[in-house]
Structure 1
Amino acid sequence: MGALSKRKGPQAGREPDVEAALDDLYVTPPAQFVARRAEMSAAAKTAGRAEDARRIGAARRPTLAAWAANLLLRSRPEESRRLLDLGPALREAYHVLDAAGIKDLAEQRRRMVSALSRQAAQLAQQAGFPLSATVQQDVESTLRAVLADPEAADSWAEGRLEGALTPPSDFPTGTVPAAGAPRKPTASKAPPPSARTRPKDELAERRRQRQEQLDQARRTAEEATRRLHDRRAEQAEADNALQRARDRHEHAEQQASAAEQHLREAREELRQANHEQRETEKRSRASADALAQAEREEREAAREVKRLSARKR
């Protein structure tokens, strides 16, 4: 399995293990990757682990297909190990043109790639991020690349893919020769005398030019793949930003609605308080008038008592 067993536990002098943190980060769904990366990096920096914080902060967000492939590796280690073990046997069979071996191994490849890609889709669905048909095709392409290319196998076994892998174009995928049948050389006519006498350095020059063209084409393809990865990452970031903006807008609307409701309730309380104040003022004036009347009556009664008392004497 190789890289699946490279990181058994925390590295000496590092707690918590930055490798384990990165492993966890790369099975974080892409939509949550940036926030999780920032959280992990900040935690490492707060703990005084500046180099760990830098490594975590430099991690690039995987595409959805790459994330699903990473998740498959971590969640289905035994099945992943069998796929990685099949790759060398399949490549060796093609190398020696073992037709019977190729046929058997190719059938295993077809079954395993199909089964594992379905498992990856199920894991993604369970995580809340279903894969589209196009993304699932990218997962299958990655698994085929793992079988065909040792470097691709090592990359996947690390569990930190950033983008989908593509199998090499020169890896045979079609029909194979019948068992025991030797490869037949391509029929060709004898070259004319002028061709036979062509200088060897001219042939070498043409081969060199073809190799240069192939190298340039590969560099162009790699650059296009990097640009595509960057554009996909930018699009995902833009989608996340849009969702955050929508969430903030919805939250603001809810707050505004609550504030308006509170304002309506406050105005109703004020209206009721004004009404109660007016009624209380009316009762207060009526009570004051009654008090004044009672005082006048009491004075008049006192004067009458005084007057009558004086006459009696």
Structure 2
Amino acid sequence: MIMRRKGDRGEDRDDVEAVLDELYTTAPPDFVGRREELAAAARTAGRMEDARLIRAARRPTLAAWASNVLLRSEPEEGRRFLELGQALREAYKSLDTDAVKTLSEQRRQIVAAMSRQAAQLARTAGHQLSNSAQKEVESTLQAVLTDETAASQWGGGRLKSALSPPSVLPGASPPAPGTGLKPPRTTPESASSQTAVREERAGRRRQEQELARARKAAESAGRRLREQQRAQTAADTVLRRARDRYGRARDQLYAAEQKLKQARERLHRADLDRQDAEARHAAVADAVAAAERSAHEAEQEVELLGGSAE
């Protein structure tokens, strides 16, 4: 990444923010080396404050890195996941026990699916998440859905370590079964009792609306996640087939190169044989020419001697 030497402070801030975003999606084994490269580039560009900020970045754990990659690789899904968390936190504040139980089960399913997606992204990048790292990713996602501060931290895309969900969900603890949200027995003649009944009904309607919205958000998030997982599976299949084709083509190329090498060696030997044969042919031709001259001279001598004898 090249840093500009000149520009206003807004541009400078954009530069270093982009650098940090990239750095926190760099796999932990490569983090330190990449950090030093980026810090050196900032110093070379005269950006000493940026260099200090980059140098101060700390390497994330494998689980934190996978969580960052999950957010950065699917920004739209990440945004919807954050919105789902906000809706769930609001819903938890006014739901009864049964509704909380239903919503919590949906939340666990979504978190498990998102965690598997993060593990797949990590494998694609060449890093296998251990069981403990996988659980840390799940813990981080649970925290994002249940805690506003955790959601803000993950939404920044620069986690250094895994997050933990709160021990108690946002808002008041849900009432125990059979004890919460049931109006006391009142007499119809009491105006205050009628008011309490109306308020209770209104409260229940609000709860039902909140639950419906939360369930709809959870179901929508689940559908989108399943679509993304199917797309990921299809992409994995295409990648695997492409790698297989590449491997076969590479083997064929190697075999062809070996054949070409052997053919060139045969050609070289044949050329040497040709040169040797041409040399022998020339030598024989010279010998034949010499013999022809000798024979011709001998014939002439015979003719001369024959003429003298007469």
Question: What TM-score, normalized to structure 1?
Answer: 0.50
Match of 2:117 among 114, 118, 122: 122
Amino acid at match of 2:142: R
Partner of 1:66 in structure 2? 64
Partner of 1:279 in structure 2? 277
Could you say if the C-alpha distance between residues 139 and 123 of structure 1 is closer, same or farther in structure 2, counting changes exceeding 3 Å? closer
Amino acid at match of 1:179: G
Deviation at 1:156, TM superposition (A): 1.7
Distance 2:13 2:164 in 1: 36
Partner of 2:158 in structure 1? 160
Amino acid at match of 2:168: F
Partner of 2:236 in structure 1? none
Partner of 1:179 in structure 2? 180
Could you say if the C-alpha distance between residues 25 and 106 of structure 1 is closer, same or farther in structure 2, counting changes exceeding 3 Å? farther
SS of aligned partner of 1:272: helix
Amino acid at match of 1:118: A
Deviation at 1:310, TM superposition (A): 7.6
Superposition pairs for residues 249-268 of structure 1, below 5 Å? Answer: 268=266
Superposition pairs for residues 1-313 of structure 1, below 5 Å? Answer: 12-14=10-12, 17-28=15-26, 40=38, 44=42, 47-53=45-51, 55-56=53-54, 58-74=56-72, 75=75, 76=77, 77-84=79-86, 86-87=88-89, 93=93, 100=95, 104=99, 107-122=102-117, 125=120, 128=124, 134-147=132-145, 149=147, 151-168=149-166, 170-171=167-168, 176-177=175-176, 178-179=179-180, 268-303=266-301
**Once the two structures are aligned, what percentage of the paired residues are identical?**
33
Deviation at 1:19, TM superposition (A): 0.7
SS of aligned partner of 1:291: helix
Amino acid at match of 1:171: V
Deviation at 1:17, TM superposition (A): 2.0
Deviation at 1:115, TM superposition (A): 1.5
Return 5+ residue gaps in structure 1 as ranges: 1-9, 182-253
Distance 1:274 1:71 in 2: 62
SS of aligned partner of 1:62: coil
SS of aligned partner of 2:106: helix
Partner of 1:219 in structure 2? none
Counterpart contact for 1:144–1:167, Cα < 8 Å: yes
SS of aligned partner of 2:150: helix
SS of aligned partner of 1:165: coil
Distance 1:257 1:47 in 2: 49
Deviation at 1:134, TM superposition (A): 5.0
Counterpart contact for 1:44–1:52, Cα < 8 Å: yes
Counterpart contact for 2:97–2:174, Cα < 8 Å: no
Counterpart contact for 1:23–1:159, Cα < 8 Å: yes
Amino acid at match of 2:278: T
Amino acid at match of 1:79: F
Amino acid at match of 1:289: A
SS of aligned partner of 1:17: helix
Partner of 2:203 in structure 1? none
Distance 1:78 1:126 in 2: 19
SS of aligned partner of 1:292: helix
Counterpart contact for 1:68–1:121, Cα < 8 Å: no
Return 5+ residue gaps in structure 2 as ranges: 1-7, 183-250
Could you say if the C-alpha distance between residues 42 and 306 of structure 1 is closer, same or farther in structure 2, counting changes exceeding 3 Å? farther
Counterpart contact for 2:64–2:160, Cα < 8 Å: yes
